[in-house]
């Protein structure tokens, strides 16, 4: 339960951009005691993760971003998270100034010293997916200080549709960020190429709503936020109500037709609509990308090996994600 007596720092929450565009996601900052996960599930299982390592997580509830619904993400070990689907939003807590490479590294050499875990807590309707980085190293410039580390969590909150970044302990030095002033923090692809750029003093940052067309610089904090700081990204209520009114129903089911084929059926299929299907494997690699123009589609199983797959169907701003295990 949140402690309402804690200091709450509200940032500028203007609902309109100078151009008249409504801002669908807002940001505020507060303080809350950092607590490690009680029953974590390991993502890297003791293996050293690299800068390009990704881990998929499927969560059994709907999370909405600006009218689109998701229930799967990819954890980018060195930088943050990205939702699973067609051109989905992502929130990156540790990237270089121009939004490219992740800035975190595993401290281990033979086995991981920087575990990445997750846990889903809470009751139906208010569950929280918590992803936790512990003792993550920080990639500097020409010199990486071996004593550098950061602990933090990223939360995906059912019902409120909030994304929170909780900062734990950290240690940095003059070598921690190379040419950067601090970690790059951005929440992109919220509305097309529009997103949130966060910058400035880490315990009371500034932010703006901007167009991310190609490399975009300046989204840098001046250092790591203090322990117990929490960044809250939450829906603008005015825009959220409008998006809910515009949303179309979208659902599908998958059955095994025979030994060689899967059958995908789209519920409430509309002939005039284009449905986009993407399928990802457990490594987060896209294995199939199709545009569906029929209610029923057969998929040959020889496209897949055994394992877990994430099926993502998109119709306009609406996205439906399902987990399928092939044995």
How does pLDDT run across 254-293, given as a tens digit for each residue? 887 776 788 899 988 888 788 989 888 776 778 888 899 8
Write down the mean pLDDT value for the chain: 83
User: How would DSSP label each residue in 35-65?
Assistant: ---SS-EESSTTPPP-TT-EEEEEEEEEEEE
- On whether the CB atoms of residues 88 and 189 are closer than 8 A, the answer is yes
**Measured between alpha carbons, how far is 21 from 115 in angstroms, rounded to an integer?**
41
Q: Domains of the chain: which residue ranges?
A: 17-244, 248-326
- Predicted TM-score (pTM) of the model is 0.72
**Measured between alpha carbons, how far is 152 from 163 in angstroms, rounded to an integer?**
13
Averaged pLDDT, 284-309 = 83
pLDDT band for 11, please (50, 70, 90 cuts).
very low
pLDDT of residue 170: 93
What CATH number matches the domain at 248-326, 1.10.150.530, 2.60.40.3080, 3.40.50.1100, 2.40.50.180? 2.60.40.3080
- On whether the CB atoms of residues 212 and 186 are closer than 8 A, the answer is yes
**Measured between alpha carbons, how far is 61 from 23 in angstroms, rounded to an integer?**
25
**Measured between alpha carbons, how far is 79 from 100 in angstroms, rounded to an integer?**
10
Top pLDDT among 316 and 96 is at 96
């Amino acid at each position: 339960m949140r402690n309402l007596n804690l200091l709450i720092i509200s940032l500028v929450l203007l609902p309109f951009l100078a151009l008249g565009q409504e801002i669908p996601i807002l940001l505020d900052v507060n303080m809350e005691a950092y607590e490690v996960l009680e029953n974590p599930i390991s993502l890297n299982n003791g293996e050293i993760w690299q800068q390009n390592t990704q881990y998929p997580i499927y969560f059994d509830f709907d999370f909405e971003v600006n009218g689109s619904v998701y229930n799967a993400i990819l954890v980018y070990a060195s930088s943050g998270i990205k939702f699973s689907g067609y051109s989905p939003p992502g929130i990156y807590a540790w990237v270089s100034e121009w939004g490219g490479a992740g800035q975190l590294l595993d401290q281990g050499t033979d086995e991981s010293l920087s575990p990445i875990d997750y846990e889903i807590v809470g009751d139906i309707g208010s569950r929280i997916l918590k992803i936790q980085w512990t003792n993550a190293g920080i990639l500097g410039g020409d010199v990486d200080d071996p004593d550098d580390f950061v602990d933090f969590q990223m939360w995906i909150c059912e019902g409120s549709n909030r994304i929170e970044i909780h900062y734990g302990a950290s240690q940095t030095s003059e070598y921690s960020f190379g040419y950067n002033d601090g970690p790059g923090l951005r929440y992109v692809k919220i509305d097309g190429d529009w997103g949130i750029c966060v910058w400035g003093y880490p315990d009371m940052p500034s932010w703006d709503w901007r167009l991310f067309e190609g490399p975009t610089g300046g989204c840098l904090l001046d250092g790591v936020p203090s322990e117990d700081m929490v960044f809250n990204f939450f829906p603008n209520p005015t825009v959220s109500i409008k998006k809910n009114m515009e949303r179309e129903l979208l659902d599908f089911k998958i059955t095994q037709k025979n030994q060689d084929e899967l059958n995908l059926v789209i519920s409430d299929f509309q002939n005039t609509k284009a449905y986009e299907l993407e399928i990802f494997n457990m490594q987060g690699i896209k294995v199939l990308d199709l545009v569906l123009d029929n209610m029923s589609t057969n998929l040959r199983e020889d496209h897949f090996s055994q394992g877990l797959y994430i099926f993502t169907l998109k119709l306009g701003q609406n996205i439906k994600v399902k987990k399928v295990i092939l044995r």
